[in-house]
Amino acid sequence: MKWFLVLSSLLFSDIHAQDFQTEAKNLTDDLKESLMKNLSEKISKDGVVEAVSFCHLNVKSIAKAAAADRIKKYEFGRTSHKIRNVDNAPQPWAEDYLKDFEGKKKGEIKMTPIIFKLDNGKRVYLRPLYVEAKCLLCHGDNVSKNIHDKIQELYPKDKALGFKLNEFRGFIWVKEK
């Protein structure tokens, strides 16, 4: 009986972990897609400079809308070793992973899902983001002056410039509440 309980609780926790992995993956898919769709639309409609202010004001509400009812179960956000918005500063549990990924190119670190448990038992999922061509407009090392000025105005402490194509940019993260 005892063994049965141990076994079934092991099994149960694995199922739970699998659920978390699937849900966290879906949530980050939706966040990515929704952020990029809104950003691209804004860029093609009003240009990159306007899109910088748009990001500044709307990232959170876009993300919340994409997360819908999952907000009850999960916290989520973006973080990086080089941040633009200080609100995205890494939490302690992200720091070691950021060090591992810093400066790496896409494919250099084998992509297995990064999932771990915090001391309080809550699970965390980290999904690496890499620099695509369109990201360079606002995160590259050759950002045009008007975009650069806008970024400086909104984020005087910005550190998120100078990235290269395919370089690790940061994580989207999901954490159980």
Binding site for ligand HEC (CB under 6 A): 39, 48, 51-52, 55-56, 59, 78, 80, 83-85, 88, 129, 131-132, 134-135, 137-139, 160, 169-170
Nearer to ligand HEC, 14 or 33 (CB): 33
Structure tokens at 73: 């179960």
CB of 16 to ligand HEC, least distance (A): 28
Q: How far is the CB of 138 from ligand HEC (least distance, A)?
A: 3
Shorter beta-carbon distance to ligand HEC: residue 35 or 123:
35
State the maximum Cα–Cα separation within the chain, in Å, rounded to a whole number: 70
Q: Are 177 and 73 in contact (CB under 8 A)?
A: yes
Do 42 and 50 contact (CB within 8 A), yes or no? yes
Cα atoms in the Cβ-side hemisphere of radius 13 Å centred on 53: 8
Rounded Cα distance, 132 and 72, in Å:
32
* Closest distance of CB 15 from ligand HEC, Å: 31
Smaller CB separation from ligand HEC, 15 or 86: 86
